Every structure is written in structure tokens, then in C-alpha cells.
Amino acid sequence: MNDNVSLALGGGSRSGLGGLPQRLVQDGVVEEAAMLEALNASRERKTSVVTQLVTSGAANARDIAVAASNEFGVPLFDLDSVTVDLDVIKLVNDKLLAKHRVLPIFRRGKRLFLAVADPTNLHAIDEIKFQTSLGIEAVVVEDDKLQKAIDKAIEQADAQMPALGDDEGMDLEALETTGGDEGPDDKVTRDDVEDAPIVRFVNKVMLDAIRRNASDIHFEPYEKIYRVRLRIDGVLKELAQPPVQLAQKLSARLKVMSRLDIAERRVPQDGRIKMKLSKSRSIDFRVSTCPTLFGEKIVMRILDPAAATLGIDALGYEPFQKDLYMQTLAKTQGMILVTGPTGIC
């Protein structure tokens, strides 16, 4: 029997399988030959056999999760049905989350509930128990959903306001932007608008959006959460969840920067911001506010002049199409219309 596929997980079979691998083979989730191959590969790559099975396409993540739950009596959990608490995420070091592919999802007293795809990964459970000094309760989730949730959680935790620092040497407070000079209303004071963490947070969000080639930034207030999302390649991706108590301060800061009336919250307003990144480069932001039930939603469209400096050769025209376009462009009258969703063309 090959030592690489010998498992001390309880039970056994003629092939040397035991525990979860044996259950997956018995349930018909994966063929025995594919399981042996996955075990060898996971040993060589130092990854979980569950991850190896899913990434190689040898088995379905949902089928593995169901089999693992039945084999070890661990609750099966759907990650899509929960909003992960970032305060709970911060209980565990980012390196441990990425190393072991686990995710803390909520805490109850002295017990931390940990989402895992492979409940036999006792080393991960022991390490996190040692770091947090909490009792660990494992719940089984689908491996593909788990990795996406881990990446999203780490990204959101990094973007939270307390973790903000100088970005590549930039002073996030002194970053130059054009702004208005409207006076504060009775609820939002000038100190609120110029509060250093608020200024740094807004500036960092704007810089992150530029670096990630986002077309829009959405500041969205809800009843219990406040979230910031970026539109990248047409898809909205969550960037951060600042405390909901800061909703008015954030909207006031953005409105002052875009020369809007911060005392008016009942009607939509439009403005613009110009952020100077260097002596030779500046970015325009077109700002729109809209009153909602839980506060003002603000959307910023990013207009980067440098992104519009493409030559006609970069547009992908065939030679005859280019000639036709240039002939039409040279005419003394008429117009050329480019239509479709904004930001696509």
C-alpha cells in the first residue's frame, strides 16, 4: 500500500482509504482511482484533499459537504445565507485564514463557529483555538463558496476604517481635492465633516477605486449596515462596511467635497470633485445624491482623462472599417453617434 494515501482517519478499506475519503468513494461522489490520485496530489501540494477534488473537477463541492456532514455529524451550513461579522473575522489572523482555508462566521459567548470544507483538518482547528482562546465549533460548508468568502472577508477587513494607513507614502488627509465652502447644518458640524478618519477613509476609497479601474463608487446606507461598493467591469463588488453611525458624516464629507448643500437631504443633488494625484494627473468624479429611507445614497462616476487617450488603432477596427470611419470623420457636416451603456464604449 502506498504510504502517500494511507490515512489515520478511522476505519479502513482494501485501498487504504478511511474517514472522509472512504465515505466519498462509498457514496459514489468520486471514483476510487480519482480519490487516490487526489490524495497524492494534495500531499505533494500540501493542500486539503477536498480542495484538490473540487479544483480538479473530480467531485462537486456540494456533494462533498453533504457527505462530510453525514460522516462526522458536523452541521452543514450555507455561506450564502449569512452576513459575516468583520469583528469576528478579526479574531483570527489573516495568514491562518488563508493557510487553512477556514472562516470564523459568528461567536456565541466563549465559542467560535468556524466554517470548514474539511472537518478532518484538526491542525487548523487547534491553531485557531490556541490563538483565540475560544472553544471551536466546526460547521461544514462548500469548498468553492468558502474560498470566495475568505477572500471577500479579508478584503473587507483590510478596507475598514481602523486599518487605514498612508497609501504608498500618500498623506490621505492632505490629498488635494476641490471642495465647497457651505456651512454645516444643525446636526452635522464642521468638525464632523473635517474629522480626520472620515477624510482619510473617503480619500482611500477614491484612490482604491482608481487603482482597481472602477467606473463607479456607491455609498449605500441601510437600516443596520452601511456599505461601499465599486463597479468593476460592470459588476458591483463590495469594498467596505464602515459603521452605520457614520452615514451622515460620510455623506456630508462627500457633499462638501462636491460643492453641494449639506443641509438639503430631501432632494437629489449633482456635483463634481477633482482629485489631484500629482502635478500632471488629476481625476474627475461626477457625484449624484439620492434620498432614501435610511439616508442619502451617493454614487460617484470616475472620469479619468488618461483612460480616454486611445488612438483609433487601439479600437480594433478592420482596415476597411477604419478607412470608412476616417472618411466619414473628415466630412464637413453630420455626426457620429456612439450609443449604449455608459462606460462600456
Residues 114-148: pLDDT tens digits? 888 888 778 888 888 888 888 988 888 888 888 78
Q: What is the CA radius of gyration of the chain?
A: 26
Position 226 scores a pLDDT of 94
Largest CA distance in the chain: 85
Nearest to 85 by CA among 47, 46, 113: 113
Position 252 scores a pLDDT of 92
Nearest to 275 by CA among 194, 198, 202: 202
Confidence category of residue 35, pLDDT binned at 50, 70, 90:
confident
Confidence category of residue 341, pLDDT binned at 50, 70, 90:
low
From the CB of residue 302, how many other CB atoms can be counted at a distance below 10 Å? Answer: 21
* DSSP three-state, residue 124: helix
Mean pLDDT taken over the chain: 78
Residue 10 reports pLDDT greater than 50: no
Strand partners, 274: 284
Show Cβ contacts of residue 343 under 8 Å, excluding neighbours closer than 6 positions.
215, 216, 234, 301
From the CB of residue 310, how many other CB atoms can be counted at a distance below 10 Å? Answer: 8
Residue 9 reports pLDDT greater than 60: no
pLDDT, tens only, 220-264: 999 999 999 999 888 899 999 999 988 999 999 999 999 999 888
From the CB of residue 254, how many other CB atoms can be counted at a distance below 10 Å? Answer: 26
Give every strand in the sheet of 176-177, ordered side by side. 176-177, 269-276, 282-292, 295-303, 216-221, 226-232, 235-240
Confidence category of residue 4, pLDDT binned at 50, 70, 90:
very low
How many Å apart are CA 342 and CA 345, to the nearest integer? 7
Contact (CB, 8 A) for 215 and 343? yes
Read off the C-alpha cell for 315: 479600437
How many Å apart are CA 75 and CA 137, to the nearest integer? 10
How many Å apart are CA 46 and CA 26, to the nearest integer? 25
Residue 38 reports pLDDT greater than 50: yes
Contact (CB, 8 A) for 112 and 128? yes
Contact (CB, 8 A) for 183 and 191? no
Of 7-11, 73-77, 332-336, 339-343, the least confident: 7-11
Domains of the chain: residue spans and CATH: 3-72 (no CATH), 79-159 (3.30.300.160), 162-306 (3.30.450.90)
Give every strand in the sheet of 103-108, ordered side by side. 103-108, 111-116, 135-140
Position 219 scores a pLDDT of 96
Position 168 scores a pLDDT of 47
From the CB of residue 240, how many other CB atoms can be counted at a distance below 10 Å? Answer: 24
Query: Beta strands 295-303 and 216-221: pairing type?
Result: antiparallel
To the nearest 10°, the Cα dihedral for 28, 29, 34, 37?
Answer: -120
Read off the C-alpha cell for 211: 487603482
How many Å apart are CA 334 and CA 328, to the nearest integer? 9
Read off the C-alpha cell for 114: 468556524
Position 173 scores a pLDDT of 53
Position 323 scores a pLDDT of 92
How many Å apart are CA 96 and CA 93, to the nearest integer? 5
Query: Beta strands 235-240 and 226-232: pairing type?
Result: antiparallel
Backbone angles phi, psi at 245, to 5 degrees: -65, -15
Residue 105 reports pLDDT greater than 80: yes
Position 74 scores a pLDDT of 83
What is residue 308's DSSP assignment?
G
pLDDT, tens only, 190-225: 555 556 788 889 989 998 898 888 899 999 999 999
Residue type, 274: K
Residue 61 reports pLDDT greater than 70: yes
Strand partners, 282: 276
Residue 8 reports pLDDT greater than 50: no
Show Cβ contacts of residue 203 under 8 Å, excluding neighbours closer than 6 positions.
172, 173, 175, 177, 275
Confidence category of residue 164, pLDDT binned at 50, 70, 90:
very low
